[in-house]
Structure formats: C-alpha cells, structure tokens
Chains A and B, each alone.
Chain A
Amino acid sequence: AQSVTQPDIHITVSEGASLELRCNYSYGATPYLFWYVQSPGQGLQLLLKYFSGDTLVQGIKGFEAEFKRSQSSFNLRKPSVHWSDAAEYFCAVATNTGNQFYFGTGTSLTVIP
C-alpha cells in the first residue's frame, strides 16, 4: 500500500540556518512526489514536484528536494531559512495513474530570530 512518512513532527531552526525536512514514501512503481506548505488558516501551496528526470528539483521560495530511489526518500531543503517560512510542510505521493494521492502527517516548522 502507498504511504508517506514524515518522521519529524516539529522542527525549530534559527533564522538564516539551513533546513532539511525528511520524507519517506512507500510505493511500488515510480512515484510522483510533491511538497506542499500550509500556513495557518490557509490552503496548501505547492512548493515543488518530482515526476521524472533530474533527481534534484527546484521549487519556489528557494526550496529544493532530492529524490533518492534507493532510500525511498524525497527530502526538502533550504540553505537559509526566513522567518516567513514558519508553517506546516506536507510531503505527498501520487500514483502514476494520477487518481490517488497520499499525504504525510506533516512537519511543523518554527523559526526563531
């Protein structure tokens, strides 16, 4: 069965520090992978996605993610965090038929000055 695991429920980083949010997936075929961000009271905004090709993908707001098939991982990174990055981050996997989506439980990011 398909599933997504985000091992870190909550992460705190200092402004300007680097960030890595972990995501592991379980899916039998080539996955379609996504990272979304959700601010309080807001819907989900797509940060980046991976379908195929280059395993390092660039997204909006300076985020990037690397797909590692051997580790079934799709970790999100940012070299320097800004206070406005404080939010909830969700990793998701879609089936290759595109009609089933699975989200992780999310990682809450706090940024301290």
Chain B
Amino acid sequence: ETGVTQSPTHLIKTRGQQVTLRCSSQSGHNTVSWYQQALGQGPQFIFQYYREEENGRGNFPPRFSGLQFPNYSSELNVNALELDDSALYLCASSIPGLPTDTQYFGPGTRLTVL
C-alpha cells in the first residue's frame, strides 16, 4: 500500500477546456513526479517538483503546468485540452533523500477528452 492518492478517479472534458488533477503524497515525501500514460504505452515523464519548485521537465508543452504545496500535495494543470491528452495521469512521490529513491505511485486519474 503506497499511501499516494489521486483525485478524481475519472474525468471527462471537451477539447479546449482546462483541467486540474490532484495528488496527495505519502506522508513525509517531498518530491512528486507526474506522468502521462496513453493507452498501450509506458508512462511519459511530465515534470517533477521538489520542495515546491520544478526540478525537472520532460518533453511536454507549457500548457502542462504544476504546483506543489507546503504539505507536499500537488496539482497538474492542463490548459487548452487536446484529444491526444486523453490518458491515465499518474503521480508518484518519493521519500526524502536522493531524488532517485523509490517512487510510490498513485492509482492514477483517467482523463478523457472529447
């Protein structure tokens, strides 16, 4: 049991809308990473936050943005939704220490863009 929770579980939006996904990290974890997993694909790294600052970013456009709060919970915001944004969005938190230490994944949010 990881202790990482995500909300909502499922979400349906239309093209052009904006969406906010939420992640609650496991207690004491100060690093959170977000991933996009399209159907039949592996997770694609979106970005990582460490102590409320963006600490790394994958190949995603600026309309994908994030926040990390003092309690280490996090949000992923996506503006101007496109059909290709339909995917499972995963967040993962890490224990303090090396950023490459064990990542604990949440169950994900399934986003469908119509």
Chain A interfacial positions (CB closer than 8 Å to B) = 4, 6, 32, 36, 41-46, 49, 51, 90, 92, 94, 96-106
Contact = CB atoms under 8 A, between A and B. Distances in A.
Contacts of B106: 43
Given A4-B42, A44-B92, 7 more contacts: A42-B107, A43-B105, A43-B107, A45-B2, A94-B100, A99-B99, A105-B40
Given A43-B105, A99-B48, A106 B100 contact: no
Interface string B1-39: 010100000000000000000000000000001010000
Interface string B85-114: 000001010000011101111111000000
A72 to B, nearest CB: 18
Interface size class of B (residues with CB under 8 A): 20 to 34
B44 to A, nearest CB: 7
Interface of B: 2, 4, 33, 35, 40-45, 48, 50, 55-56, 58, 90, 92, 98-100, 102-108
B105 A99 contact: no
Name the residue among B42, B92, B104, B107 with the largest chain A CB count within 10 angstroms: B42
Contacts of B41: 105-106
B58 A100 contact: yes
